[in-house]
Amino acid sequence: MTNNGHTVLVKMSYNEDEIPSVRGGPLAEKTPLGYQFEQFHFHWGENDTIGSEDLINNRAYPAELHVVLRNLEYPDFASALDKDHGIAVMAFFFQVGDKSTGGYEGFTNLLSQIDRKGKSVNMTNPLPLGEYISKSVESYFSYTGSLTTPPCSEEVTWIDFTTPIDITEKQLNAFRLLTANDDHLKNNFRPIQPLNDRTLYKNYIEIPIHNMGSIPLVDAENAAGKWRAQAAAVLLPLVVLAALSRTSIFRGF
């Protein structure tokens, strides 16, 4: 994990056959191959009323997690960046509570070691990627937009999950204490953008759920026919492959 002066950026190493990947839902018509995990990073505000880059029912959240994925039609992240639908981002919002979700206690304890721009630290006791995202991935919005950080590529598929991640005030403040260029690294979110002519999709179809670890899998084969039969403004719940919850995601750090 690295303080790059813009955010906390986390990259991970895997065996080739264990890299987390995502397919189905709003990604199904982009490629049959699915999308593969590349990195995740965070955006946050100086107080609990701002920080997220999108609103849900006109509500802003104090922080937002972006899990960045690469279209498997392209061999690497650089070649996917300038392609239509070469990149997808799964966005998760944070809400302040008395307890945190999954692995954020240990994660935020490390932030003091990357308090300045350019500093990095390796996690010695990594947790699966599923410990850092919402416990529910069944409800979401999706739209086509752009990356909110350089190079701000267009035609990116965004998937905004509506179930927040819990984080404590102390843990959130650990992000706010980070610095970049002799100033605190905060309010590192892009202002809310107008919808313009974009179509915003919301899923609501109920399909069979198979529990595996902390992240559910959906019956994509049976659901595919329902997806094609529904109106264009309806999406199937996202299919998250088993590797997302089973694999130790910081292997090799």
* Angstrom distance (rounded) from CA 52 to CA 66: 10
Please choose, from the candidates 10, 9, 33, 11, the residue with its C-alpha nearest in 3D space to the C-alpha of residue 22. 33
Contacts of 13 (CB under 8 A, 6+ apart): 250, 251, 252, 253
* Angstrom distance (rounded) from CA 243 to CA 249: 9
| SS3 state at 227 | helix
Residue 6 annotated to the active site: yes
Please choose, from the candidates 139, 144, 131, the residue with its C-alpha nearest in 3D space to the C-alpha of residue 89. 144
Residue of 6, 43, 66, 184 with catalytic role: 6
State the DSSP code for 147. Answer: -
- Ranges of beta strands (E only) in 46-137 are 63-71, 87-96
> Which tokens hold the place of 197?
């002519």
Q: How many CB atoms lie within 10 A of CB 7?
A: 21
Q: Which sequence positions are flagged as catalytic?
A: 6
